[in-house]
Structure 1
Amino acid sequence: MVSGRLTGPIGIAQPRGAALPTLLIIALVAFVTTLDNNIVAAAVPSIGRELGLGLTELQWISLGYILPFAGLLLVAGNLVDRWGQRRALLLGLLVFGTAALAGGVARDAVTLIAARAVQGAAAAVLVPATLSLLRTNLDVRGRTIGAGIWTAALAVAIAIGPAAGGMLSEHLHWSWIFFSNVPFAVAAAALAPAAAATTRRTTPGGADVRGMLLVTAAMLLFLMALVGTGEQTPNPLGRAVPAGLGVLALVAFVVVERRSAHPMLPRSLVAERAFLGGVSVQLLWGLGVSGVFFFTPLLHQESLGLTPTGAGLPLVLVAVAIVAATPLVAPAVDRWGPRYTVMVGLVLVSAGLVAIAVVNHVPSVPPRIPGLLLIGAGSAFTTPLTSFSLEVVATRDAGIASGALTASRELSSALGVALIGLVLTVRQSAELAAGAPEPDALASGFTAGLITAAVVELLAAAVTFACFRSRPFDEHRDTADSGGE
């Protein structure tokens, strides 16, 4: 590492003065791209009433954002490396803000879902462009701080999104859940020139469009199998056909990637156990948490009788716990290493989900508070997932690696909504068939979803133990890697 400076893309030195703008952009982009997904949770009843939509169509308002986000991330990471961080950030912010305005003025389902899809595509460019700044602008400890800010910002957005969406839709109009994105995009665009490099990667090879289309088609087909495409829940055959086609698309993707000269994931990344472990754990963490957070405001409105604002407000406690626990993460990594820090976090998240499941039959909010606080504190301790997964990545692959990590999170959001929704619906239907009242049946279904999510978090802890190092990464290794480029 050059004295007094930080090594940027392909060895270009970045001034240390770029660190503060980098951390601010990390916070803004993590917050707004996550908020744009979760803010719709408490507003979907209002959107449904005005546009005449059913539950399945309302789920696709969320999935319409997540699917292009997750599907395009790997190709977008490649493009970030080629275009340069500054160009990618500015273009992504422009499209993201414009699509947010389009969503706000939409008055039919097709226009709204299309605007959401464009926003998801723009977010797919923004996130790897931003996360690559961790690798190119910050030293080892700075990356831990930056990753902590990233995780805290996205988790805070997950937590307060439903409350904000409920408040805006209740007191103004649901359009404002989209208009609220614009100031964040403008602020991040103003900071981009100070933090992002214009340098492009010059190695040969094109984007793997075939791989992108196949993996996106596989995700779409799996979601169709779990959620359906219309008002009616699909019958077993309606689930089996898209699921089978999804498997075929996934197999074709693997074959294409093995034969491609320039696969979506460079073979050097696939060979890194720590990187693959980080991607897998990120997927499992989000799979457990995201689906629960999407359906919590619905449970609070339908089962507890809360207003849209009140239904999302308890999730703010998760944000409070994240903020309170985040300063403890770096010392925990120094003392225990990334493996045990992340494992502790995942076990705490699982314990929080179980704690809520135990009291879910109680028709009030206070008994749920300890579980919400445990989920928040545990999520903060999963911060090293990002920084230590990127630590093994060469600087030239920072964009594509960041895209892969975020793709796993966004894919987990889509699958989490679908999986927890399926578990909830199956259990709810069984309870209704047995004669249970609708609020009790919904609560029972949500309890089953919580237990499912808790098991997924424990599985993530097991993967963490198998894939992560027991000690922190050595800064000497980072210095040698930077200086050798």
Structure 2
Amino acid sequence: MFAVIALVAFVTSVDNTIVATAAPSIAAELGLGLTATQWVTLGYMLPFAGLLLAGGAVIDRWGARPVLSAGLAVFGVGAIVGGLAGSAFVLITGRAVQGAAAALVVPATLSLLRTSVAPGKRPTGVAIWTASLAVALAAGPAIGGAVSEHLGWSWIFFGNVPFAVAPLLIIARLRVGRADPEQSSTLAPTALALGCAAMVLGTAALVGLGDHAAYGPVPWTAFAGAALIASVLFVHHDRRSHHPIVPRSLLRTRPIAGGLVVQLLWGLGVSGAFFFTPMAHQAALGIGPTAAAVPLVLVAVALVLATPFVAPAVRVFGPRATVAAGLIAVAAGLFAVAAVNHLPAVGPRIPGLILVGAGSAFTTPLTSHALDAAPESRSGTVSGLLTASRELSSALGVALIGAVLAVVARGDGLAVGYTAGLVVAGALELLAALAAALMLAPRTGVVREAQSDSRACSPT
């Protein structure tokens, strides 16, 4: 099971970043402009985030194992479509298929971690998941640059196929993840469509904020207004539904609600800043695609090395103080990199990058904190919500920091725009730390009480 966790975490996360350093090659061969190139990445993130709203409910009703198997098969098909693409439309379509499949694969895997791994081994599973995400974050741009340079960008997508096939072979032998007969198979397609529309329109508005010519005569404010309307309608419809995508009983559980908000803010800052790091390094330092991505490896190494200290910190200080301190460290690291971004060398950036990685390790209790508070019958839903907040924050982060970078860079250049993006990202991390201090449970005992309360609220 741990092998499945590692493979799924890596391949679904690496697809968020692997395109970053290959983007110039893709744009040159397919004749894409800046906005279309950005949508190659967003085309994966948005279906991933949007369909996660329903992915958890699908798992709770039909079982984690069959959903995981189907999702992996579709993910592989999407990768093949992307690799064979000869136009922007086909490429973005393949990416969207992969994102939709990932919306099933990721929460199904996290659900199996919650229901099929012994409680004493779950911290190991969470650590493997986190380490795999860190490796994907660091390795994605480097792999994308090296593969596109030596093999061609199509092999970035063909390389996903083995990562889909291997978990399929492993889970074929598992006897876990059975469907819950008490759960209805009725979904809420209207609410799902409204939720996806709100995400896509909101992201499009942020992209348009940075590039006013992105959508021709349609201003970015039109997309922002439409996103607001879709969001209000989604909340209204979902609250009245007999089968809500976001059950209110879960949002009343403090560890779950707090975990969602904090994770959203954390990813909004970190993912957005790091997406543009290889591009900024290439422009400011004059280094190649692969070398420009290598500094991100330091973030992953720092995260992995700091992980063994997380559990003792939670036992001594509780999850609230641990997560808040980690977020403050991440903010300090981002500000430190921004302070030396004018220097034409990688070395001065290293302390800040290490601080970002180490601080991020201390945010990992968010996942286990929320999953431990979830009733077993709702583990798939909670897993989907947690991953949706991460993926939505990645998409919005790319659009938001991209807008900041584009607006500032118009007059002062890419390096100054990147510095401004780092400052905004650091401010978001401080806001996340404040949210953690106000919303998370102070001690693990509170989580157990919340778990009992949420089970009492659950229809099962």
TM-score bracket, shorter-length normalisation:
over 0.9
One-letter code aligned to 1:100 = A
Task: Select the residue among 6, 9, 29 that pairs with 2:8.
Answer: 29
CA contact (8 A) 2:207 2:399 kept: yes
1:264 match: secondary structure: coil
Distance (whole Å) between structure 2 residues aligned to residue 130 and residue 307 of structure 1: 36
Note the alpha carbon deviations across 1:133-188, whole angstroms, 9 max, x for none: 22212344433322222222112211211111111111211111111211221221
Distance (whole Å) between structure 2 residues aligned to residue 415 and residue 166 of structure 1: 24
Instruction: Give the alignment of 1:340-359 within 5 angstroms.
Output: 340-359=321-340
1:303 match: secondary structure: helix
Q: Equivalent residue for 2:393?
A: 412
CA contact (8 A) 2:81 2:94 kept: yes
User: 1:472 and 1:225, CA in 2 relative to 1: closer, same or farther beyond 3 A?
Assistant: same
Q: Equivalent residue for 1:224?
A: 204
1:243 match: secondary structure: helix
1:291 match: secondary structure: helix
Q: Please say if 1:450 is aligned against 2:422.
A: yes
Task: Select the residue among 269, 273, 287 that pairs with 1:306.
Answer: 287
User: 1:81 and 1:173, CA in 2 relative to 1: closer, same or farther beyond 3 A?
Assistant: same
One-letter code aligned to 1:189 = L
CA contact (8 A) 2:201 2:226 kept: yes
User: Could you list the runs of 5+ residues in structure 2 that have no partner in the other structure?
Assistant: none
1:194, CA displacement in angstroms? 4.1
Instruction: Give the alignment of 1:252-271 within 5 angstroms.
Output: 252-271=233-252
Q: Equivalent residue for 1:156?
A: 135
Distance (whole Å) between structure 2 residues aligned to residue 262 and residue 443 of structure 1: 48
Distance (whole Å) between structure 1 residues aligned to residue 157 and residue 52 of structure 2: 22
CA contact (8 A) 2:194 2:234 kept: yes
One-letter code aligned to 1:314 = P
Distance (whole Å) between structure 1 residues aligned to residue 452 and residue 399 of structure 2: 44
One-letter code aligned to 1:71 = G
Task: Select the residue among 427, 445, 462 that pairs with 2:434.
Answer: 462
Distance (whole Å) between structure 2 residues aligned to residue 351 and residue 379 of structure 1: 12
One-letter code aligned to 1:222 = G
User: Could you list the runs of 5+ residues in structure 1 that have no partner in the other structure?
Assistant: 1-20, 432-440
Q: Equivalent residue for 1:278?
A: 259
Distance (whole Å) between structure 1 residues aligned to residue 243 and residue 135 of structure 2: 37
One-letter code aligned to 2:239 = R
Q: Please say if 1:390 is aligned against 2:371.
A: yes
CA RMSD of aligned residues (A): 2.3
2:444 match: secondary structure: coil
One-letter code aligned to 1:63 = L
CA contact (8 A) 1:148 1:380 kept: no
Distance (whole Å) between structure 1 residues aligned to residue 401 and residue 36 of structure 2: 17
The number of residue pairs the alignment matches comes to 455
Instruction: Give the alignment of 1:156-175 within 5 angstroms.
Output: 156-175=135-154
Q: Please say if 1:324 is aligned against 2:305.
A: yes
Task: Select the residue among 380, 389, 406 that pairs with 1:425.
Answer: 406
The TM-score normalised by the length of structure 2 is 0.94
CA contact (8 A) 2:48 2:102 kept: yes
One-letter code aligned to 1:249 = A
One-letter code aligned to 2:249 = S
2:179 match: secondary structure: coil
Note the alpha carbon deviations across 1:231-279, whole angstroms, 9 max, x for none: 9346896011111111111111111011111110122112112101101
Distance (whole Å) between structure 2 residues aligned to residue 299 and residue 219 of structure 1: 27
1:305, CA displacement in angstroms? 1.2
Instruction: Give the alignment of 1:104-119 within 5 angstroms.
Output: 104-119=83-98
Q: Which moved more, 1:71-80 or 1:132-141?
A: 132-141
Instruction: Give the alignment of 1:139-150 within 5 angstroms.
Output: 139-150=118-129
Distance (whole Å) between structure 1 residues aligned to residue 250 and residue 157 of structure 2: 36
Q: Equivalent residue for 1:132?
A: 111
1:207 match: secondary structure: coil
Task: Select the residue among 156, 160, 164 that pairs with 1:185.
Answer: 164
One-letter code aligned to 2:416 = S
Instruction: Give the alignment of 1:181-220 within 5 angstroms.
Output: 181-195=160-174, 197-202=176-181, 203-204=183-184, 206-220=186-200
User: 1:198 and 1:283, CA in 2 relative to 1: closer, same or farther beyond 3 A?
Assistant: closer
1:295, CA displacement in angstroms? 0.6
Distance (whole Å) between structure 2 residues aligned to residue 327 and residue 228 of structure 1: 42
Distance (whole Å) between structure 2 residues aligned to residue 266 and residue 479 of structure 1: 15
1:378, CA displacement in angstroms? 1.0
Identity in percent: 56
1:228 match: secondary structure: helix
Distance (whole Å) between structure 1 residues aligned to residue 219 and residue 130 of structure 2: 37
